[in-house]
Amino acid sequence: ADAVVLGAKVTGYSQSLDGVSAQITHADGRVEDVAGTLLIGADGIHSKVRAQMHPQQPPIHWGGAIMWRGTVRAKPLRTGSSFVGLGTHRHRIVFYPISAPDADGLAEINWIAEVTVDPSHGWQQDGWFRPVEIADFAHHFADFRYDWLDVPAMLQGADCAYENPMIDRDPLETWVSGRVALMGDAAHPMYPTGSNGASQAIVDGRVLGAMMLEHGVTQDALAAYDAKLCAPISAVQLRNRGAGPFGLLNLLDARCGGVFDDIDAVIPPEERAEFMAGYKAAAGFAMEALNAAPPTIAPGARLG
Ligand SMILES: Cc1cc2nc3c(=O)[nH]c(=O)nc-3n(C[C@H](O)[C@H](O)[C@H](O)COP(=O)(O)OP(=O)(O)OC[C@H]3O[C@@H](n4cnc5c(N)ncnc54)[C@H](O)[C@@H]3O)c2cc1C
């Protein structure tokens, strides 16, 4: 239980040949140096550890996308767990159920409404996350009415709505400096295009553990972790600034303005399959290879 200390913030670190020390400020104002063999900065997109490791890093990057997010009780569509994406990569709504339906057939639905604007004036709000009224943004989606779905009505029924700009940071050349490493969003904050930010943070932890089993709790373990993940995940960060799977909807929009009777006549099934296969290969969603691979850390493995 004493491994987790709440209400404490790392403000910086210092390291020597023998060890590393993290400067911690506690909630009551007490300042403490905590010494160790290695320091892993897992302190998110505003990471203090990263800021010290890379003092020249540019500020947070915002490409102009604004997301409004919330939940609503509604009937889940198609399979009952289908992910629905409507519009284009610059003007879209995405939603999917996050609960099983109740006896009344209604489930909790998570929705994300998004538009991309000119980012040249920078983000004008104070924070990165704030509650908003539905009326503040629903007009962008007034035309999203279909015989099978009324998006404005769905938004009106929402329990809550929050505004987030879509932000990330430029990739780093390295996540490691001697005895200090970054992981998760501290290492690679990325757009949620492939829904893979948190998943990658978990993979980082697994790979870091595997490297410690191989090299011990040493700087070599951190260097091996960096060598394995930093370059390929940096490429994913940049790729996530693109349209991802929404490229297919952009194509549909370009060919017919999104209005069609027969989807196969607009984008033939083979072309759709080829597009999605290309995205999955680029994003590393190699399901069969992953399922056939041995676990990153063998069950029961422990450091000696
Ligand atoms: C709108 C949105 C949608 C997303 N959708 C998805 C998705 O569908 N799928 C997916 O996989 N990912 C998604 N992500 C990304 C995902 O949330 C992050 O990648 C993930 O939370 C990163 O985990 P982390 O532990 O590295 O960082 P965080 O979750 O940010 O945790 C960092 C922790 O460090 C603490 N901390 C901060 N500063 C300090 C300090 N100085 N000292 C000590 N502690 C500190 C914070 O309090 C926090 O607890 C989404 C993100 C956003 C914003």
The structural domains of the chain, ordered by start, are 8-58+169-239 (3.50.50.60), 61-168 (3.30.9.30), 244-292 (no CATH)
Q: Name residue, tokens 């597009």.
A: 275
What is the model's pLDDT at position 126? 73
Rounded to two decimals, the pTM is 0.89
Token digits for 189?
Answer: 């904050």
Q: Beta strand 39-41 with 180-182: parallel, antiparallel or unpaired?
A: parallel
What is the model's pLDDT at position 282? 67
Using the atom order of ligand 1, give the atom closest to the CA of residue 186.
26
Q: Check pLDDT > 80 for residue 74.
A: yes
Q: Name residue, tokens 């879209």.
A: 92
Pocket of ligand 1, candidates 123, 182, 185, 285: which has the most ligand atoms within 8 Å of its Cβ, to mutate? Answer: 185
**Cα 189–chain centre separation:** 7
Contact between residue 258 and residue 252 where contact means Cβ atoms under 8 Å apart: yes
Instruction: State whether the beta carbon of 177 lies less than 6 angstroms from ligand 1.
Output: no
139 vs 287, higher pLDDT: 139
Neighbouring C-alpha atoms within 13 Å toward the C-beta of 266 = 16
278 vs 13, higher pLDDT: 13
CA 257 – ligand 1 centroid, Å = 36
Instruction: State whether the beta carbon of 165 lies less than 6 angstroms from ligand 1.
Output: no
Q: What is the mean pLDDT of residues 274-295?
A: 80
Cα separation, 29 vs 21, in Å, equals 18
Nearest CA to ligand 1 atom 37: 43
Residue 177 amino acid letter: S
Write down the H helix ranges in the chain.
48-53, 151-156, 197-215, 219-239, 247-256, 263-266, 269-283, 287-292
Q: Which residues contact residue 22 at a Cβ distance below 8 angstroms, ignoring those fewer than 6 apart? A: 10, 12, 13, 33, 34, 36, 39
CA 279 – ligand 1 centroid, Å = 24
What is the model's pLDDT at position 129? 87
Give 244's pLDDT tier (boundaries 50, 70, 90). Answer: confident
Instruction: State whether the beta carbon of 130 lies less than 6 angstroms from ligand 1.
Output: no
